[in-house]
A and B are shown apart, each in its own frame.
Chain A
Amino acid sequence: MIHNKTYLQLKKTKRVLLLLSLIFVFVARSFAGNDGEATKITPNFKLSYKIIDGKPSIKVELSYKDGKKFIPVNNIIVNLYLSEVRKFNPVTGEGWMGNLVTDDDGVVEFDLSDNFKRIKTGAHVFNFIASIGTDPKFENSSEQITVNDVRISLSNSVADSLTTVVAKLSMFKDSVESPAAKTEIKLLIKRTFGALPFGEENLSTDENGEVSGVLPKDIPGNNDKTITVAARYEDQENDGIIEVTKRIPWSVPPIEHKFTKRTLWSSGQNAPVPLVIVSVTIIFTIWGIIFYLISLLFKIKKLR
């Protein structure tokens, strides 16, 4: 009898525990469900690449749309992978290349100069994948970009006091390097804050993959009697720029802008004369009196 009663009590306790467990699971699930239902934003990726003098970099711009505005996604970690999303493979050089945090403009720029040297695949087309990790506001998402192994070589020659610059473009087809014909290349002279195009407009490579341009004779060069020329290929399809620069001997010196007028906006040495006279007079008068007063202190000391 007692045994039976205990059995019934246990059974009742079990039922209560089961009911409580069910309630707990339901509550937990409903909370989890609420979290899961929170809509996350899918950010927009904009990927572009640059290879300047063989140094590649990939720029990732992240934003999201809020009404009609694009808002930069700042302070979020962006991972970069080569070929596939996986750990770095030291054998092939593929996988995870690194990560960076977006700045206030939602931009990160991966400098791949060192990483690229580790790639041992022998491939000439590279697929890079940029992805963001787990974030409470943004959906896990990724975007990829294709970087082609395009090669440009620059050479120059002088004839009849004219300097001609020749750029040769080659691409890989079935792992074989061949000249790229009928491709647009820009020839440029590098300046401090930009580049000046030279040669004919809309230059396209010939069947040897070459374009040439004659440097203007009077263009000023660098301080070290050189001029920096560049050849640029713009990969429109993959939003990339490949550029090669070369410094070549040049005799036209840079123009020195010496602003020697005495104005309020000149350097200290070129201050307006009246201002210098007035200020120096005031300073010397006042400090002269101050030094006289200090000399009085010495006189007071001597009087003891």
Chain B
Amino acid sequence: MEETNKHMSEKEAIEMLHHYNDDLLPQKFGKAGKIWVVFLVAVIVFGLYNYVIQLKKGLSITGLSDTVSWGIYISNFVFFVAVSLVGSLITAVLNLLNVSWRAPITRMAEIIAVAGIIFAGLIIIVDMGRPDRIINMFIHGRIQSPIMWDVIVVTTYMTISLLFLYFPLLPGISFCRDRMKNIPKWQHKMYKILALGWNNKPAQYKMVKKAITILSVLIIPVALSIHTVTSWLFATTYRPGWDSTNFGAYFVAGAFMVGAAAVIAGMYVIRHFYNKYDELITDKHFDRMGRLLVLLSFIYLYFTINEYFIPGYKMKGDEGAHLKELFIGHYAPMFWLVQIFGMFIPIIVLLFPQGRKPRSIFLMSVFVIIGAWFKRYLIVIPTMLHPFLPLQQVPESAKHYTATLAEWSITGASLAGALLVITLFIRYFPIISIWEVAEERGVSHYTIYKHLNEQE
């Protein structure tokens, strides 16, 4: 802890800034980075190709039916909303609590939140058979409908997240504008426009800090709302597995957990590819994030027990049939793998200091993320297959749901799209907010930018 939050003298701060120098600027990708981008683009192109077919032929190319009208598109939507919640956790909650080691990872959290919420909004449009009719939501929208609440809250959260990313980024963009010389014209122009004429004036910093404080307060209720409302999309529907008063808190707890895991994974990747960043994102950061993740996992475990234990104790009617399907039926392997790898193993491993070392915590975070995706699958699909009204006189195909290749490719494209947004952000913008890091260490922004902009 001391290593990350110790206060510096002005001399030490200048030395630090000179030490990092151009390392703080976004850098061109190496071979691995280029291959990664090509891979993501290929996945997106394949998904887009299938989406064009879906637009032409409708949802008939998916495995969706009258019985399972919400499939992997919706479970993917819930996953994206969950991941996007991390922006509020790391940036806002830790900021308001004045946690002193948060600065190097805040931007990573913010861009994950932005990418997540953008693709949550897009995937919900993909789920619509007729996306051209989305305008009707606004023309004939009913404020009584949770779907309307979701549209409002997703749009609001997206705007707030973008602002939360943009305000602290302003000094960084101006840094890129002033220091990056051998770059294409368009890139320089982009920095020039986005920097909003930033020239390190104290009044500008004052406004940025004011905006961050307002956003930190504002984003928390909105972030809680977005995932609570998403849970209400299910909980306001009278169906086995969804008819729960626990759902709002359960979804929020799960979202914080997967969001924290996503940030840890991002931290590890950044540190792996940018050599000097291990001095800023230290093992202590992984340890702190590991502790946070284990705390959030315990909270999620508590809600999971509440969600399944009591209905499982009673096993009443259709609810019992649904739970049986999860516990020992068709979905049991997925259900237990999700619990074991997505929760129990990470909790046990992260309880020990050795488990919170970068490599093992990265592995546990990947487990949590994959587990979280399949957890959303388990929330959506098995319930849809257990309506209260018995499935009579329906074709056999309506009693099962198997996502088609088109669905998988479109879903894959959305995940690749979110990763591409994060990747391109890292390519063109500073992923570590050095002025926040220095301020965290007690150095004024005046000192930071006075020396940050001078050449060695």
Contact = CB atoms under 8 A, between A and B. Distances in A.
Interface of A: 74, 104, 264-268, 271-272, 275-276, 279, 283, 286-287, 289-290, 292-294, 296-297, 299-301, 303-304
Given A104-B395, A293-B211, A287 B156 contact: yes
Contacts of A297: 166-167, 196
B56 interface: no
Given A286-B218, A293-B215, A300-B170, A272 B196 contact: no
A290 B156 contact: yes
B144 A265 contact: yes
Nearest to B222: A286
B198 A304 contact: yes
B197 to A, nearest CB: 3
B159 A275 contact: no
A292 B214 CA distance: 10
Interface of B: 140-144, 149, 152, 156, 159-160, 163, 166-167, 170, 196-199, 201, 203-204, 207-208, 210-211, 214-215, 218, 222, 395, 397
Contacts of B170: 300
A300 B208 contact: yes
18 contacts: A268-B141, A271-B142, A275-B144, A276-B143, A279-B149, A286-B218, A287-B156, A290-B159, A292-B214, A293-B163, A293-B214, A293-B215, A296-B210, A300-B196, A301-B196, A303-B207, A304-B198, A304-B201
Contacts of A299: 207
B152 to A, nearest CB: 6
Contacts of A272: 144
Nearest to B141: A268
A279 B199 contact: no
A303 B204 contact: yes
Nearest to B398: A104
Contacts of A271: 142-144
A276 B149 CA distance: 12
B455 to A, nearest CB: 22
Given A293-B215, A304-B197, A275 B207 contact: no
B163 to A, nearest CB: 5
Given A74-B395, A104-B395, A300-B170, A286 B143 contact: no
A204 to B, nearest CB: 37
Q: Chain A: interface secondary structure?
A: helix
B204 A300 contact: yes
Contacts of A304: 196-199, 201
Contacts of B210: 296
Given A290-B159, A293-B215, A296-B207, A268 B395 contact: no
A294 B141 contact: no
Which of A289, A300, A303 lies at the interface centre, i.e. has the most chain B CB atoms within 10 A of its CB? Answer: A300
A299 B167 CA distance: 12
A119 B290 CA distance: 82
A264 B146 CA distance: 11
Nearest to A301: B196
A40 B156 CA distance: 62
B424 to A, nearest CB: 22
Contacts of B197: 300-301, 303-304
A275 B196 contact: no
B170 to A, nearest CB: 7
B373 to A, nearest CB: 30
Given A268-B140, A268-B142, A287-B156, 16 more contacts: A104-B395, A268-B141, A271-B144, A276-B143, A279-B143, A286-B222, A290-B163, A293-B167, A293-B214, A297-B196, A299-B207, A300-B204, A300-B207, A300-B208, A304-B199, A304-B201
B196 A266 contact: no
A17 B23 CA distance: 85
A268 to B, nearest CB: 4
A299 B210 CA distance: 13
A37 to B, nearest CB: 28
A249 B204 CA distance: 77
Nearest to B393: A105
A293 B164 CA distance: 10
A169 B204 CA distance: 91
A297 B215 CA distance: 13
A271 B141 CA distance: 11
Contact of A294 (B149, B163, B207, B395): B163
A267 B144 CA distance: 9
A286 B224 CA distance: 14
Contacts of B163: 290, 293-294
A88 B322 CA distance: 55
B156 A264 contact: no
A104 B139 CA distance: 36
B371 to A, nearest CB: 33
* Nearest 7 A/B pairs, CB to CB: A304-B197, A268-B142, A104-B395, A301-B196, A264-B144, A271-B143, A300-B204
A268 B143 contact: yes
Nearest to B159: A290
Contacts of B214: 289, 292-293
Nearest to A292: B214
Nearest to B155: A287
Contacts of B149: 279
A303 to B, nearest CB: 5
Contact of B201 (A74, A268, A276, A303): A303
Contacts of A275: 143-144
